[in-house]
Structure 1
Amino acid sequence: MSDTAEQRVRKLPCWRGTVTLQPLKGGLSNASFIVSDERGKYVARVGEDFPCHHVFRDRELRASRAAFEAGLSPEVVHAEPGLMVVRFIEAHTFSEEDVRKNLERCVDIVHKCHRDMKRLVTGPASIFWVFHVLRDYGNTLTEGFHRLKLEVPRWLSAVDALEDAQIPLPVVFGHHDLLPGNFMDDGERIWLIDWEYGGFGTAMFDLANIAANNSLNEAEERQALEIYFDRSPSEAVLRAFDAMKTASALREAMWGMVSELHLNAPGVDYVAHANEYLGRYERALATFHDRYGAS
């Protein structure tokens, strides 16, 4: 019988002296633990490759190491297939409200990610393009006979128009999973953690992802764009942003649906997650159509 996640962590050769483990709640797809030994505290995360989500742990490891070098994330102290250990940060994990209250700081660290990570990450290039992800998720849901598979054509019917609304931007290395829990504040600075979806892409996704995942209002969305681009957004930028925010919400909803078929993290309600973001998608799509018309 294979070891449980906890047993795997306990057996790691990197510990010194007495080892204590505390399960860390909040992960949607991995088992994580706070580990203490005689030298300090760490976070150990156990998670396999998830091809259904385009998640590969070797890519995540390279991004995590680059993020530490860039001053964005804690240091990786041990790694092996399906398991990574990083230094523990005494910090407050953000809620959506925290992100909104610290919007400038959150946008600033995302901008730093876009500016610096592309120079530091090594290995084969990982690419994140949300419109490809959506089409692939649609295929997964249809072939997997998901409970909502008959809705997939309707959701994907909007994808082409949302993609066509995008504008040319410089290629950056983005985070692409800006849920509130991936921002942490130690009282002096913001940290950005969890690089499963890190890859080259467009800055517009991360900006829209902050908005879609943290319930930004229209004024806050404009503020985020002004902070990032250091100027008032043009109509083309606003349209691209609204389209990308809509795609981001749909991607998170379909992530939950695909997870229903393929993941089983303890205590995670994938149906509720999918339904929450499906509602956000429907509202964002209605706003997009009101502003720019339905294609």
Structure 2
Amino acid sequence: MSDLAAALARIPLFAGVDPADGPAITRLAGLTNVNHLVALGGERYVLRIPGAGTSEYIDRVAEERAARSAAVAGVNADVVFFDPADGLMVTRFVDGAVTMDPERFRDLAAVARAGRAFRRLHTTAQPFAVDFQLFEMIDEYKHLLAAKRAKLPPGYDRLQIEADATRAALAARPRPMVPSHCDPLCENFLDTGERMYVIDYEYSGNNDPMWDLGDLSVEGGFDGDQDAALLDAYFDGAPPPADVSRMVAYRAMCDLLTLLTDPSYRAHLDCIGAA
């Protein structure tokens, strides 16, 4: 039995669906997971088959809670089925939506819709099961690199000094943690032109709300006008200067986290190659 057939067999909604039925099932894009569009009874659904080994580092129980909470808030696509044993999931297909990318986010109206979606998520979703601890995560990556005797990237020491100062400044004026996406790649946004959806809650957690805005700004390569549109839409007016500063700080922290995770992955590959 193929992986697709085995997945369909586990989902009551798809009982009797033949994976060989080409018009009913279409393969979709995906980075670490395998996604299929399934048409059934006049409705369309997205079936996500989790990538091999992903449950080793993704808390599927926490993901289900976040995905369903975000869906109830009207930000995520409706969750029809979720198996926390491995992350097999079915969501309702968002009709009329396009997958966003940095080029599509050049439209300031789309940026504003993203800002309003974040606001709905942060203010109306029920709390998620886990917290996103940025600086603890950075410390863990550093320990991982040290354990593998991997060299830190050039210029990291200078960035670490800046990060320590940022860490102290943020801690001095903490913000309440709110349900946050935490991994807002452009491709995790679906835009209907009237409403923006934010999907894929594998790495979500309760977090400082300005992280999501700063991270999207980095992922989308936003300029000053885009940042202003995002903030203005999020706050429905002029943003508080303190929150603007937090967003800028988290932009820098996103760059630092990326700098650390890249050599972590290379070190992991080197370790496998030496085994």
Q: TM-score, normalised by structure 2?
A: 0.79
1:243-276 CA distances to partner (integer Å, 9 max, x unpaired)?
210101222443444445669xxxxxxxxxxxxx
The answer to whether structure 1 residue 222 and structure 2 residue 228 are counterparts is yes
In structure 2, do the counterparts of structure 1 residues 238 and 121 end up closer, same or farther at CA, with 3 Å as the change threshold? closer
Q: Which residue of 2 aligns with 1:73?
A: 76
* C-alpha contact 2:153 2:263 (8 A) present in aligned 1: no
After TM superposition, give the deviation of residue 219 of structure 1 in Å: 3.0
Cα-Cα RMSD? 2.8
**Do the aligned residues in 1 keep the contact of 2:127 with 2:178 (CA within 8 Å)?**
no
Aligned 1:170-209 pairs, distance under 5 A: 170-209=176-215
Contact 1:172/1:202, CA 8 A, preserved across alignment:
yes
Whether the 8 Å CA contact 1:108–1:228 is kept in 2: the answer is yes
Are 2:104 and 1:94 aligned?
A: no
Q: Identify the match of residue 136 of structure 1 among 135, 140, 144.
A: 140
**Where does structure 1 lack aligned partners over 5 or more consecutive residues?**
264-295
Q: Taking every aligned residue pair, what percent have the same amino acid on both sides?
A: 27
Aligned residue number for residue 60 of structure 1: 63
> How far is the alpha carbon of 1:234 from its aligned partner?
5.4
The alignment covers a number of residue pairs equal to: 252
| Partner Cα separation in structure 2 for residue 50 and residue 161 of structure 1 | 33
What's 1:13 paired with? Answer: 11
Deviation at 1:168, TM superposition (A): 3.0
Taking the aligned partners of 1:219 and 1:198, their CA distance within structure 2 comes to: 27
Aligned to 1:293: none
The structural deviation recorded for 1:113 is 0.3
For 2:106 and 2:27, locate their aligned partners in 1 and report how far apart those are by CA, in whole Å: 28
Find out whether 1:23 has 2:27 as its counterpart: yes
Task: Evaluate the alpha carbon distance shift between residue 116 and residue 237 of structure 1 in structure 2; reply closer, same or farther with a 3 A threshold.
Answer: closer
Q: Counterpart of 1:96 in 2: which secondary structure?
A: coil
- Determine the C-alpha separation between the residues in 2 that align with 1:39 and 1:261: 48
SS state at 2:137 partner: helix
Tell me which amino acid in the other structure corresponds to 1:74.
A
Q: TM-score, length-normalised on structure 1? A: 0.74
Equivalent residue letter for 2:120: K
For residues 126 and 8 of structure 1, the distance between their equivalents in structure 2, rounded to whole angstroms, comes to: 30
1:40–1:239: structure 2 CA closer, same or farther, 3 Å change rule? closer
Q: Distance in 1 between matches of 2:106 and 2:233?
A: 13
Question: Post-superposition shift, 1:5?
Answer: 4.4
Gap regions ≥5 residues in structure 2: 270-275
16-25 vs 83-92, which moves further: 16-25
SS of the residue 1:128 aligns to = coil
**Matching residue's letter, 2:112:** E
Aligned pairs for 1:135-174 (under 5 A) are 135-146=139-150, 148-149=151-152, 154=157, 155-166=159-170, 167-174=173-180
Structure-2 change in CA distance of 1:69 and 1:150 (3 Å): closer
Deviation by residue 1:47-68 (Cα, 9 ceiling, x = unmatched): 43243xxx31111111111111
